[in-house]
């Protein structure tokens, strides 16, 4: 029965119209509606908690709002906050520190993770354990990371000073004792922070690169080897170009995270000593929650946001070029 009526519908369009699904049926079974319904919770959440506050912050950049002088309320000041920022020495210092911290951290994370991933890409007995222990710090909470490293760097109990003391005792007699407060020294604090950042960020980069390496086809490497490429040439001309998309992703994700990271550096040094590790997120925090100047804090975050948005756009267009090239 059903088959014959379907056949009839095909031959007689006028009759077919009566069998088109109802509006309600089309609504509940349409792919477009389902697509919208599925994506709605995530979109609403992002609009409410991310987009709206971001717009609010960008707007605040043009207002003066001092929580300690509530009677002044919120006043439109145009570009006054930006003018203030240009003259604000600590902003330039923090920007410099942030860029230094981000560039050095991401570069060394990537370089070290590349070497280790190449070592561990091919399986051997016990490779799972070695890989697992390399990934483990990813699961250590930030506060624990900060505390353990403060312990390692600490003048009295720290392992680093213990090692130096032990070496010193071998050289200059048993009474030698090395006491140096690494994170309280303005020359070493930034280096210390960078070391902890690399330690903490390494697992993510390593995982991404390892995954990328394992998904590469073996044929190209084999062909290169047959053509007489040595290990280094094979890596440089065959493996690395194929890994480029994966490396791009790792770089941009790590750059964003490191540039925006407040918790770890705040828990390690709090921006000190003598502003040696003052980075932009800490400056924002101090402006907003210590000085209670919301407008001025917003200007700094607006600048951070614009820097990262440009970088991300650049990354996305790079990735699109890659896709077109393929």
Partner 1 sequence: MVKATTLVTTRRPFRFRWRYVRIPVAVVLMALYFLPIYWMFKTSLQPEREISTSSINLWTTSLTLANYVQVLSDPLFATWFKNSVILATSTMVISVLVSTLAGYSLARLRFWAVKFLGRPFLLAYVVPSVMIVVPVFVTLAGFGWQNTYHALIITYTSFAVPFSTWLLRAYFLTLPTELEDAALVDGCSRLGALFRVILPLAAPGVATAGLFSFVLGWNEFLFAFVFVFTEDMKPLSIALQRILAQTIAASSADLGYYGFGAMFAMCVLVAAPILVVFLFLQGWLVRGLAAGAVKG
Kindly identify the residues of this chain, within the stretch 196-225, that bind partner 1 according to CB under 8 A. 199, 202, 207-208, 210-212, 214-215
Instruction: Choose, by CB under 8 A, the member of 136, 223, 240, 291 that binds partner 1.
Output: 136
- Among residues 183, 148, 158, 181, the alpha carbon closest in space to that of 273 is found at 183
How many angstroms separate the CA atoms of 131 and 53, rounded? 40
Q: How far is the CB of 199 from partner 1 (least distance, A)?
A: 7
Nearest distance in Å: CB 58, partner 1:
9
Q: Find the shortest distance in angstroms from Cβ 13 to partner 1.
A: 26
HSE on the CB side for 313, CA within 13 Å? 6
Residues 292-311 close enough to bind partner 1 by CB under 8 A: 294, 297-298, 301, 304-305, 308-309
Report yes or no: 264 and 274 within 8 Å, Cβ to Cβ. Answer: no
Binding mask 227-256 for partner 1 (x = CB under 8 A): ----x-------------xx--xx--x--x
8 Å CB contact between 80 and 63: no
Among 101, 113, 116, 193, which residue interacts with partner 1 (rule: CB under 8 A)?
A: 116
Single out the segment in contact with partner 1 by CB under 8 A; choices: 7-15, 74-82, 102-110, 158-166. 158-166
For residue 65, the SS3 value is strand
Position among 84, 88, 178, 188 found at the interface with partner 1 (CB under 8 A): 178
The alpha carbon dihedral of 158, 162, 168, 172 has a sign of positive
Q: Does 113 bind partner 1 (CB under 8 A)?
A: no
Q: Which of residues 45-84 bind partner 1 (CB under 8 A)?
A: 45-46, 48-54, 56-57, 60
CA 166 to chain centre: 38
Spell out, one character per residue from 17 to 36, where the chain touches partner 1: x when CB under 8 A holds, - when not: --------------xx-xxx
For the CB of residue 12, give the shortest distance to partner 1 in the complex, in Å. 27
Please select the residue that binds partner 1; options are 25, 76, 92, 157, rule is CB under 8 A: 157
**Of 14, 86, 124, 172, the one binding partner 1 by CB under 8 A:** 124
Listed in sequence order, the residues at least 6 apart from 42 whose beta carbon sits closer than 8 Å to its beta carbon are none
Burial 136-146 (b: 16+ CB within 10 A, else e): ebeeeeeeebb
Site string for partner 1, 82-111 (x = CB under 8 A): ------------------------------
Between the alpha carbon of residue 19 and those of residues 8, 13, 25, the distances in Å are 11, 10, 12
Tokens of 138: 């990813």
Token pair in block for residue 88: 């604000």
């Amino acid at each position: 029965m059903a088959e014959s009526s379907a056949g009839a519908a095909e031959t007689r369009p006028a009759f077919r119209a009566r069998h088109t699904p109802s509006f309600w049926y089309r609504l509940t079974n349409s792919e477009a509606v389902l697509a919208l319904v599925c994506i709605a919770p995530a979109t609403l959440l992002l609009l409410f908690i991310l987009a709206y506050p971001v717009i609010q912050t960008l707007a605040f950049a043009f207002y003066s709002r001092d929580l300690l002088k509530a009677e002044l309320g919120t006043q439109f000041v145009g570009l006054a906050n930006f003018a203030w920022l240009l003259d604000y020495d600590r902003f330039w210092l923090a920007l410099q520190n942030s860029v230094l911290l981000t560039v050095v951290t991401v570069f060394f994370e990537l370089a070290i993770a590349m070497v280790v991933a190449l070592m561990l890409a091919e399986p051997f007995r016990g490779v799972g354990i070695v890989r697992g222990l390399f990934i483990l710090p990813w699961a250590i909470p930030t506060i624990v990371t900060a505390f353990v490293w403060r312990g390692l760097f600490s003048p009295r109990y720290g392992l680093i000073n213990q090692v130096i003391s032990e070496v010193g005792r071998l050289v200059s007699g048993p009474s030698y004792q090395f006491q140096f407060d690494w994170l309280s020294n303005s020359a070493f604090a930034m280096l210390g922070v960078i070391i902890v950042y690399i330690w903490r960020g390494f697992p993510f980069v390593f995982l991404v690169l390892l995954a990328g390496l394992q998904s590469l086809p073996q044929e190209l490497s084999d062909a290169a080897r047959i053509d007489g490429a040595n290990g280094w040439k094979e890596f440089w001309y065959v493996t690395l170009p194929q890994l480029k998309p994966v490396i791009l992703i790792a770089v941009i994700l790590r750059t964003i995270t490191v540039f925006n990271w407040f918790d770890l550096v705040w828990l390690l040094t709090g921006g000190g000593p003598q502003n040696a590790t003052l980075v932009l997120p800490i400056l924002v925090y101090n402006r907003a929650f210590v000085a209670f100047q919301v407008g001025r804090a917003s200007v700094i975050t607006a600048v951070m946001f614009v820097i990262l948005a440009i970088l991300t756009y650049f990354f996305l267009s790079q990735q699109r070029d890659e896709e077109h090239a393929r």
